[in-house]
A and B are shown apart, each in its own frame.
Chain A
Amino acid sequence: MSLNYDQAIEKYEPTLGLEVHVELNTKSKMFCGCATEFGAKPNTQTCPVCLGLPGALPVVNKKAIESTILIGLALNCSIAPYSRFARKNYFYPDMPKNFQTSQYDEPICTNGYLDVEIETDEGSKSFKIEIERVHMEEDTGKSLHVGGNTGRIHGADYSLLDYNRAGIPLVEIVTKIIPKTGKYAPQVARAYVAALRDILRGLQVSDVKMEQGSLRCDVNLSLSRVGSGKLGTRSETKNVNSLRSVERAVTGEIIRQSDRLEQGERIIQETRHFLEESGQTRPGRSKEQAEDYRYFPEPDLVPVVPDSKWIEELKKTLPEKPADRRKRLQSAWSVPDKEMAAMVNAELLDTVEQTVLLGADATKARSWWLGEISRIANDRNVFPTDLISVKDVAEIIALIAKGELTDKLARQVLEGVISGEGSPVDVITKRGLKVVSDDSQLMKAIEDAIAASPDTAERVRGGNIPAAGALIGAVMKATGGQADAAKVRELLLKHLGQ
């Protein structure tokens, strides 16, 4: 009988392990000066070093070492006083050298931790995720499997390789096993990757774009019978490429493994691939044993020996921790918890902060980005900042503050900017959207409205203030909505002796 998630969790205890690969955002590759631009034409960013041609010698990118040390420091790791590169030997054409330069038994950072918090029905819960190691390596090339009809590796007739990505600095961050997350395992996994991504973004060491593969997560998961105290056999789900997928992959594996165990079958230690559409996984390559890679120290590279002075200098450049920053901004902007969580979940905290730094009021910045702009972005399935720049939003908010735009006009300006009509000022000029703030022009419209409805005007004169609404409406209509309603009301009432 198949168990559902709740039944599976009642019977089995999940143990997680997460490996995250981060592409660093260096300008040049890990061991050579080739560019690292994303989306360049195939094989335009290669050289004898990253193609593994005979006689070519690698030299380590200093910035890549520094970025890795920064990641280690931000994750509370020890920085190894002596660290070496190793060759991971395997025959697979994604690396033209027939090995990947990586680190094996002497990684540069070890033994750290990251605290993550999740929201549950029982309030927020905190988990300490221990970090086993952070090490440097290089990314592999991109394969395109041709023929068959699946586009998949099995059944392909041949493969085509683009080595632009081969040799881009990659940092692997490996957790220790994460026990006792119980039913929260999927949430904890997601929260960990999200927290890690925030840290990496704050350090400015990577683009951390999961959809472009600059941050990828492998999920290790095993189940054991509750109370048995024994670890089960794990599966490793590869390249899970969004936060939502991390959560789904953990849930999916818990259900799949419990299903097998219920049927009295064994869990096979294997690599599995996450299927975005169904949220399930399918088996991939069977796992090669670690010793099959025949790691040995890379003879073409010398050891990395970071002295304390170097580490201290890097420490000084560490930015504020994301969790601390959140607390600071929340208090500075007086944002309620719920709205703060909404901003963080929408990944708009940075955007709102940048808008505020350009002079916008925090509450206004938040309501524009999370309101109107997010609404349009959701409709079009894009990210809000893909629609409009921070600068343009700050400008619109400034124009409202100066009284040159009403909220209603501002929405039209926003729409104009989004549809490519230029800057906010361009849209205002082209569409003639200026607020009618010229008193004499407004007075003319007010007098016209009074002349058209003398009875209503008389009622207002007699003290019936709500009756003024109809006259204000007429003025707004006459000015094409370009007047500031509050201003119209003020002038009208004054004119009628109220």
Chain B
Amino acid sequence: MSAISRDEVANLARLARIAMSDAELDHLAGEMDVILGAVARVQEVASKDVLATSHPLDVSNVVREDLVVASLSPTEALSGAPASEDQRFKVPQILGEE
């Protein structure tokens, strides 16, 4: 049985807002299945006390002191925005699909 169905891939694509054609979904479902199969094999040998890796470096507690540093100016902050109004980012209607 495959580890991930075509429907699940389609759902993930929808959640990630990635438009995919039927051909792409067919192709990707197969590829992801292979990847998940490989991960499953690694999990078979990993013992329970091996923590999942989330970072390549074995470091922890990297922190900064609570100090304020200069922010961008509003002009700089908004410079990459497709649209703005009243010093705010302007975005299309939210939740239009509901």
Contacts and interface: CB of A to CB of B under 8 A. Distances in A.
Interface residues of A, number: 58
Contact of A294 (B15, B51, B74, B92): B15
B62 interface: yes
Interface in B23-59: 51-52, 54-55, 57, 59
Interface string B52-90: 101101011111111111011110011010000111111
A428 B87 CA distance: 48
B64 A162 contact: no
A65 to B, nearest CB: 7
A43 B71 CA distance: 9
A143 B12 CA distance: 27
A111 B60 CA distance: 24
Given A43-B77, A91-B17, A305 B71 contact: no
A299 B55 contact: yes
A309 interface: no
Interface stretch (A33-41, A71-79, A269-277, A333-341): A33-41
Interface in A34-56: 34-35, 41-48, 51, 53
B63 A62 contact: yes
A35 B66 CA distance: 10
A33 B63 contact: no
B94 A159 contact: yes
A39 B91 CA distance: 22
Given A59-B63, A160-B88, A43 B55 contact: no
A143 B71 CA distance: 20
Contacts of B57: 302
Nearest to A33: B69
Interface residues on B, range: 35 or more
A93 B98 contact: no
B21 interface: no
B90 A158 contact: yes
Given A60-B63, A304-B61, A305-B60, A42 B71 contact: no
Given A44-B71, A47-B72, A158 B78 contact: no
B69 A161 contact: no
Contact of A35 (B55, B71, B85): B71
A84 B65 contact: no
Nearest to A61: B66
Contacts of A305: 60-61
Contacts of B85: 146, 160
B63 to A, nearest CB: 4
A301 B68 CA distance: 20
Interface in B4-21: 12, 15-17
A43 B74 CA distance: 5
A299 to B, nearest CB: 6
Interface of A is mostly: loop
Contacts of B64: 33, 59-62
A154 B98 contact: yes
A157 interface: yes
B95 interface: yes
Nearest to A84: B54
B87 A41 contact: yes
A315 B57 CA distance: 30
Contacts of B94: 92-93, 143, 145, 153, 156, 159
B88 A28 contact: no
Nearest to A303: B60
A455 B1 CA distance: 116
Interface in A207-244: none
Contact of A45 (B51, B59, B71): B71
Contact of B72 (A26, A42, A48, A64): A48
B63 A61 contact: yes
A292 interface: yes
With most chain B CB atoms within 10 A of its CB, the pick from A51, A64, A154 is A51
A159 B15 contact: no
A47 B80 CA distance: 12
A298 B69 contact: no
Contacts of B90: 158-161
Interface of A: 26-28, 32-35, 41-48, 51, 53, 59-65, 82, 84, 89, 91-93, 96, 143-146, 153-154, 156-163, 285-286, 292, 294, 297-299, 301-306
Interface of B: 12, 15-17, 51-52, 54-55, 57, 59-69, 71-74, 77-78, 80, 85-95, 98
25 contacts: A33-B69, A34-B69, A34-B71, A35-B71, A41-B87, A44-B71, A46-B72, A47-B69, A60-B64, A61-B64, A61-B66, A82-B60, A89-B16, A96-B89, A154-B98, A159-B91, A160-B89, A160-B91, A163-B77, A163-B89, A294-B12, A301-B62, A302-B59, A302-B62, A305-B60
